[in-house]
Amino acid sequence: MTAVQADRNDATVGHTAAAAIDVGSDGSGGAAIDRRGGQGQSGTGDGAGRGEFDLIRRFFDRGPVRDALLGIGDDCALLAPRDPRSVLAVSTDLLLEGRHFAAGIDPVAIGHKSLAVNLSDLAAIGALPRAFTLALALPQYDEAWLSGFCTGLFALADRHRCELIGGDTTRGPRTICITVFGEVPAATALRRDGAQPGDDLWVSGTLGAAARAVEERARAVGEHARAVEEHAGVVDERTRAVEGRASVVDERARASAGQAVPSDPAGAARLDYPQPRIELGLALRHLARSAIDLSDGLLGDLAHITERSRVGAEVDWPSVPADPCLGDLPGNEQRRLALAGGDDYELLFSAAPENRTAIAAIGARLALPLTRIGRIVDGSTVRVLDARGRPLPMTIAGYDHFGTG
Ligand code: ADP
Ligand code: MG
């Protein structure tokens, strides 16, 4: 996750991570989860079988590994490429509660998304997913949360035959760090530095739905939090609450605020359940010259390709597949969300014009819209053009400079 995304999600959450953390009664935020058993858990409190290793066994160890040579339970996992000509593709993403997701977000969605963003990186480089590791910090042994998290995580993992082979577990502010391992023949890896002037620029799917859901959720959380804070203030005054009371109320308020539902459920689904474009990445291995996955918005991510490839680019705004859910917004808002919103997790790629038919056939086979939105050019600038080929006044960083159209 990048700083851009983190800042945006900060706004969504509207509070710092530290405020929402229960480090357990010993206050040792970094200590291992309950090697002594029972401490800090919600529930029966009998202390039996609630330790770190029990947690790993119950939730994460799913028996003998199918694909790797050695998995959970040893000091290292062992993994061999299936194809000896392939190399390992490795990527890591860190998700922190209060920064990348709000307290109170459905754990099923968190499980899905924390793996999905990693798989999306494998898709972008054209790698076949093989395995992943999971480093997890949790404030307490919360069975309901863990079971939801595992539901989302393993449903996606199984769909892509990506196996959990190890990890680390500790007590602390809720944090999820996944590292994925894929494999790809080195010669056909879809890197960011391969774009050439004359290439077509393509994008998969539609853009902007998740960004709109982020903003709607932020608005809903803001309104909800304001109402709850007013209420909490009243409660506080009436009871002259003992120390800590206010923060308990606060935490509950935040938890429910995280569940505030945006008005467009399809947009919320795009935000919470992004679908990594693995099959597309694999199919593009011999066709695309460069690729990137869209996590921070099309223009910002396109700039990564143009910088690394030392080229410029032109995007034809009328060709950009803005999500239909943006249809009720003014043109400049649609452009802002489709071009500079984030969390799309679609693939942006460049390819020689002679591959147009083959690429269209892939879109048809995968039932995934693939749209030609512009071209790679000489130079170093990225321009967005209107229907008559005139540059639209916008800058990548300029959320506020999207013109008046
Ligand atoms: P070590 O002390 O050697 O690092 P640990 O005691 O941390 O090992 O973990 C024991 C085993 O459980 C290791 O094989 C590790 O990879 C695995 N493991 C720990 N936490 C997780 C997790 N959250 N998900 C999957 N595997 C885990
Ligand atoms: Mg360890």
* Position 237, amino acid: E
Task: For ligand 1, say whether the CB of 405 is within 6 Å of any of its atoms.
Answer: no
What does the pLDDT read at residue 33?
Answer: 52
Mean pLDDT of 380-395: 91
Looking at residue 47, its pLDDT comes to: 40
Q: Measuring from atom 22 of ligand 1, which residue has the nearest CA?
A: 167
178 lines ligand 1 (CB under 6 A): no
State phi, psi for 298 to the nearest 5 degrees.
Answer: -55, -50
Which carries the bigger pLDDT value, residue 366 or residue 216?
366
Range in 10-14, 45-49, 84-88, 94-98 with the lowest mean pLDDT: 10-14
Which residue did the predictor score with more confidence, 242 or 235? 235
CB neighbourhood size of 210 (10 A): 26
Predicted model pTM = 0.81
Residue labelled with tokens 């040893």: 74
Tell me what the pLDDT averaged over the chain comes to: 82
Collapsing DSSP states into helix, strand and coil, what is residue 297?
coil
Q: Which ligand is nearest to the CA of 146?
A: 1
pLDDT in tens, 92-114: 999 999 988 888 899 999 999 99
- 70 ligand 1 Cβ < 6 A: no
* Ligand 1, pocket-test mutation among 75, 79, 142, 169, most atoms within 8 A of CB: 169
Q: Does ligand 1 lie within 6 Å of residue 167's CB atom?
A: yes
Residue nearest to atom 13 of ligand 1 (CA): 73
User: Tens of pLDDT along 183-211?
Assistant: 999 999 999 999 999 999 999 999 999 99
Q: Is the pLDDT of residue 253 over 60?
A: no
Band of the pLDDT at 44, cuts 50, 70, 90? Answer: very low
Residue located nearest, by CA, to atom 8 of ligand 1: 75
Confidence of residue 359 (pLDDT cuts 50, 70, 90): very high
Helix (H) or strand (E) holding 132: strand 128-138
Length of the chain: 405
